[in-house]
Amino acid sequence: MATPANLEHVPVSLSPRDRFVEFLQSRGMRVTQQRLALVDQVFSRHEHFDADQLMEQLPESGKPGHVSRPTVYRTLSEFVDAGLLRKFMLNGRSVYEHDYGYPQHDHFHCTECNKLFEFQSPELIALRDQVARDHRFRVAGHRLIINGVCEACAKARRRASNHRMNMI
Amino acid sequence: MATPANLEHVPVSLSPRDRFVEFLQSRGMRVTQQRLALVDQVFSRHEHFDADQLMEQLPESGKPGHVSRPTVYRTLSEFVDAGLLRKFMLNGRSVYEHDYGYPQHDHFHCTECNKLFEFQSPELIALRDQVARDHRFRVAGHRLIINGVCEACAKARRRASNHRMNMI
DNA sequence: ATTTCTGCAAAATCTTTGCATTTAC
DNA sequence: GTAAATGCAAAGATTTTGCAGAAAT
C-alpha cells in the first residue's frame, strides 16, 4: 500500500535522474558521482525513507559507491529544492518521499507497524481551499497524517485477542 | 487568532491543575512544586509553545520557582499522557498546545511570521472518517497543518511591493 | 521511613558546518 | 586551472538518561 500501486502515476517527460541533471546544470552545479548514485538509489524504490535508511541502501564506507553522511544530507536538500522529493517529520525525524512523477496525496500512519500508507482525496483539497478562503489564508500546501491502525494490524490484533480468549 | 477567541471552549468540570493532580494521584505519582508550577504556567496562556519557550516563562536558574530543563521535558510528557496537552512537530521541534478544555481543531501555519492559527472543520472530520473507512483504516486521530501566508503577512507583502513600485 | 522526583552532568540522536582535499568542468 | 563538491571531524540543536541528593507521602 506504500507502493505506487494504488496511486496514479503522473506522466513526466524526464526520468528523475535527467530531471536532476537538468536542475543541476541550470544552477551551475556539478553532476557528481555521488549525486547520480543518490538519485538512482532514491528512485529505485518508492518507499518512504530517512537519511539513515538511504545510507544503508548504499555500499558501506570504504567500498566504491559509498557516499558520506554529510553529502547524503546535502543532496537530500537538493532533491527537495529540485522538486524531486518531499520532506516531512515523523516521530521527530525527517522522512522523504517521491514528489516528482507522483500525485499530491496524504498519509495514514499505522501506530502498530509504523508504516505509512498513501491515499488521494480531491475532496480534501477542495475542503482545504474552502476553509482557507473562509479564513483569508493563502494556501501553499498542507500536510495531513491520519494515525491509527491499518487493516493488517487490526486483524493481527483480533487474532491475538481471540487466542487469549481460547486460552482461558 | 491563535488565542481561544475564535474557538468554542469545551466545558470541563475540573481546572487543568485539579485534573492533573487527580491524574497524578490515580497513578501514585507525587504532587510536586515543579509539577504545579508547570501546569499553572502552561495554562495561564493559550499560545502554542515549545520546551524552550516554557522555560523562558519561568524564573531563571537559581531563583525560586525555577524548574530544570530535564524536569520540564519529563513533565511535558506527563501532560500529554494526562490528556492536558497535545504535542506535534514543527520545523523539527516539539510544539505543545492545550488539549484539555479545548475542542479538536487544525492549524494554518504562516511561513512568513511562523505563527500558527487554529480553525475547526467538522466537514474535515467527516471526510477523514469516510476516507479511513474506504481504506479500512481505524482512525485514532490526525494532524493537519495547512501552510501558506496569513492575511496580515499577505497585506504586509503587498504594501512592500507597492512601495517598491513607487520607488521606480 | 520509604519511594519518587529533581537537578546536574553527561549522553544520545539527528543534522549541519568548517576546512583541506578531490573532482567536475 | 578554477570553482565547486566531498569527506572528515567537529560542532549544533534538541531531547533523554544515570545517578546522588532532595522532597513528598
- Find the domain containing B125 and state its range: 103-168
Instruction: Judge: B137–A148 Cβ closer than 8 Å, yes or no.
Output: yes
According to the model, what pLDDT value does residue B163 have?
65
pLDDT band with cut points at 50, 70 and 90 for residue B37 = very high
What is the spatial distance between Cα A150 and Cα B43, in angstroms, rounded to a whole number? 35
C-alpha cell at B77: 510528557
According to the model, what pLDDT value does residue B29 have?
98
Measured on CA atoms in the order A146, A151, A156, A157, is the torsion positive or negative? positive
Chain A residues at the B interface, defined by Cβ less than 8 Å, are 89, 92, 94, 108, 110-111, 117, 119, 121, 123-124, 127-128, 131-132, 134-151, 154
A136-145, B56-65, B116-125: least confident range: B56-65
B92 and B147 part of one domain: no
According to the model, what pLDDT value does residue B167 have?
62
Residue among B92, B144, B154 whose CB faces A144 most closely: B144
Residue at which a domain ends, from A58, A80, A100: A100
Asked if residue B37 keeps its beta carbon closer than 7 A to nucleic acid strand C, the reply is: no
Q: What percent of chain B lies above the pLDDT cut of 90?
A: 79
- Cβ neighbors of A159 (< 8 A, separation 6 or more) are none
- Residue B9 predicted with pLDDT over 80: no
What is the spatial distance between Cα A88 and Cα B148, in angstroms, rounded to a whole number? 16
According to the model, what pLDDT value does residue B156 have?
87
According to the model, what pLDDT value does residue B168 have?
57
C-alpha cell at B148: 501558506
Beta strands B85-90 and A138-149 are: unpaired
B61 and B117 part of one domain: no
Measured between CA atoms, how close is A64 to chain B, in angstroms?
33
B108 and B90 part of one domain: no
According to the model, what pLDDT value does residue A61 have?
87
* Residue A79 · residue A94 · CB < 8 Å: no
Categorise residue B156: left if φ over 0, alpha if ψ from -120 to 50, beta otherwise.
alpha
Residue at which a domain ends, from B100, B119, B136: B100
B70 and B129 part of one domain: no
C-alpha cell at A157: 490484533
According to the model, what pLDDT value does residue A165 have?
63
A82 and A20 part of one domain: yes
Q: Which pLDDT tens digit goes with each residue over A45-83?
A: 999 999 999 999 999 988 889 999 999 999 999 999 999
A107 and A88 part of one domain: no
Q: Is residue A2 domain-resident? A: no
B63 and B108 part of one domain: no
Residues A118, A120, A126, A127, Cα dihedral to 10°: -50
Q: Is residue B2 domain-resident? A: no
According to the model, what pLDDT value does residue A8 have?
63
Q: Which pLDDT tens digit goes with each residue over B67-107?
A: 999 999 999 999 999 999 999 999 889 999 999 999 999 99
Unique residue bearing C-alpha cell 481561544: B4
Q: Is residue B5 domain-resident? A: no
The CATH number of the domain where B33 resides is what? Answer: 1.10.10.10
Amino acid at B78: E
B94 and B125 part of one domain: no
A76 and A91 part of one domain: yes
Number of domains in chain B: 2
Record the pTM. Answer: 0.88
Question: With helix as H, strand as E and coil as C, how does A61-123 read?
Answer: CCCCCCCCHHHHHHHHHHHHHCCCEEEEEECCEEEEEECCCCCCCEEEEECCCCCEEEECCHH
| Main-chain dihedrals φ then ψ at residue A95, nearest 5 degrees | -120, 140
A14 and A77 part of one domain: yes
The CATH number of the domain where B107 resides is what? Answer: 3.30.1490.190
Q: Which of A86, A65, A72, A82 is nearest to A29 (CA)?
A: A82
Q: Is residue B1 domain-resident? A: no
Residue at which a domain ends, from B100, B124, B158: B100
Q: Is residue A78 domain-resident? A: yes
According to the model, what pLDDT value does residue A1 have?
44
Q: Is residue A144 domain-resident? A: yes
Q: Is residue A28 domain-resident? A: yes
- Residue A105 predicted with pLDDT over 80: yes
A91 and A112 part of one domain: no
Q: Is residue A116 domain-resident? A: yes
B87 and B115 part of one domain: no
Q: Which pLDDT tens digit goes with each residue over A10-27?
A: 667 899 999 999 999 999
